[in-house]
Amino acid sequence: MTDSGRVAVIGAGWAGIAAAVSLVERGIPTILFDAAPQPGGRARTAPALGIEVDNGQHIAIGAYTAVLDLARSIGLAPERVFVRIALTLQQRDATGILLSLRAPKDAGQVGLAFAFATARGLSAGQKLKMARNWPRLLNAPATDISVSEFLRAVGQPERAIKLLWDPLCIATLNTAPDRASAQLFVRVLKESFDAACSGAADLMLPACDLGAALPQPAVAWLHDRGVAVHLGERITGLETDGRRFKLATGRREYEVRSVVVAVPPDSCARLIEGIPALASVAATYARIGTQPICTVYLRYPPEVALPFPVLGLTGTTTQWLVDRRTCAQDGVIAAVISADGPHMALSNEELISLVQEEIGRCVPELPPASDARVIREKRATFDAVVGIEALRPAAATAVPGLVLAGDWTATGLPATLEGAVRSGRTAAEMLLQIKPTVGADL
C-alpha cells in the first residue's frame, strides 16, 4: 500500500485532466489514474488510414473559455490547440445548396445579426419572423420540453427549424430534437449567440489530433510537476473509513485523502455503489442513458478539399462533413453521424458505402474516396433528453472528500469538451474549499 498522492483523480479524460491541473496549480499533491493506455477519454486519438485521427470529430466554439484557459495553464497558446474560423453554416442536399450563412470572424451581436439577415435559403418573411422571435428563442422554458416543441412554441419558421436549428441540436446535444432537452439547447444558444464577448460563435477546429492537442501535453505537464500518472491502470475498488480512501487496482492498493471521480456515469456508479452513503445515488447515475457518434474517415488525394471547413447534409444519414486539413491532414474528410439511428445496425462496409453514396449525390465535385475507416463511439455522450437535468449530479457528494467530475455532471451544458473542463475545475475547487482537511499532514 502506498500514500503517493494526497488527491487521487480517477479518469484522465478532459474533466480529470482539468481537475488535476487545477489541483497542482494550487500546490495539492495529486495522482492520476485511467484504465485506458492513453489520456483523453472519449476525445482521444485513434489510428486510421495510416495516420492518427480522433475517435470522433470534435468542433469547439469561441465561447469555450474554460478549454482555452486550460490550454494556457499548461503553457499552450490557444492557436496551437485550435484553428479559429468564422461561423460558417451551409446545408446541402442532392439538389444543391439549401442554406448558407457566414458571420465575420470574431463577430459580436452586430456581426451575427448581419449573418442571419443575409443568409441565403430563407425568405425575407422567414428572416423577419426569426428576428422578431429571437428574444423568445434565448429564454429557456420554465418546464423542460423537447427542442422540437420549444422551437415551434417560440415561432421559428419550419424551414429554419429543418435547415438550421435541428442540425445544430443534433450536433450539440447528440440527441434527436423530438427527445432533446430545450433547456440545454437554449443554454448552448445563449453561450454561442448571446454572449457579450465577440467571437463566441466562431468555430474552433482542432489544429492537430485531439491527443496531441491537449491531453498528451497536459499529462507531460503534470508529470514534470511530480504527478504520478498511471495510464492503463483501472480502479476496481473504492472504499473509505471516513478519513481516508482506499483505491484498489489489479496491481496494488493506494491510500489517499480525497478523490475526484471523473469517469462516465455507468463507471462512476460501479465505483461508488459500495460506499453506503452513495449507494442510492449510484443507482440514479446508472439510469443516465448514452448516445453514440459514428465518424467515417475518408481518404482523398491531398488537393481535394471541401468548399467550407464544415459542410452540413440534409435528408441523409450523414449529417456533417469536416475537412481535416485544419489539422494538417490534407485530403482526409470526416463524415459525422450523431445520435442513435438505423445506421447503427449497418456493418462498417455498409455504412461506408452509404456515406460515400450520399457524398456523391450532395457534393458531386468530390471524387470517390480511395480508403475509409469507421470509428464508432457507442457511448459518446449522455442522452440529453427532456428532464435529464434532474438526474445530473453536482460535484459535491454526501461523502466529504469525494467529488465528481465529467461532462455528464451538472454543468448546465450538454456533453462537450467545455462542459468536461468546467466540471473538472469545479471539482478541484470543491476540494480546495476543504484544503485544511485535504492537506492536514502535508
> Which neighbouring-strand residues pair with 32?
9, 229
Of 391, 381, 399, the closest CA to residue 336 belongs to 381
pLDDT digits (tens, 9 = 90+) for 213-260: 899 999 999 999 999 999 999 999 999 998 899 999 988 999 999 999
> Where exactly are the structural domains of the chain?
7-62+210-288+386-438, 87-201, 290-382
pLDDT digits (tens, 9 = 90+) for 418-433: 999 999 999 999 998 8
Of 23, 42, 2, the closest CA to residue 417 belongs to 42
* DSSP letters spanning 127-141: HHHHHHTHHHHTS--
* Domain 87-201 CATH assignment equals 1.10.1200: no
- Phi, psi for 366 (deg, rounded to 5): -80, 140
* Structural class in CATH, domain 290-382: alpha beta
pLDDT digits (tens, 9 = 90+) for 329-345: 999 999 999 999 999 99
Confidence of residue 1 (pLDDT cuts 50, 70, 90): very low
Question: What percentage of residues in the chain have a pLDDT greater than 70?
Answer: 95
Of 400, 61, 380, the closest CA to residue 259 belongs to 400
| Helical residues (DSSP H) of 32-133, grouped into ranges | 65-73, 78-81, 109-117, 124-132
Q: What is the third-level CATH fold of 7-62+210-288+386-438?
A: FAD/NAD(P)-binding domain (3.50.50)
With cell 458571420, the residue in question is 103
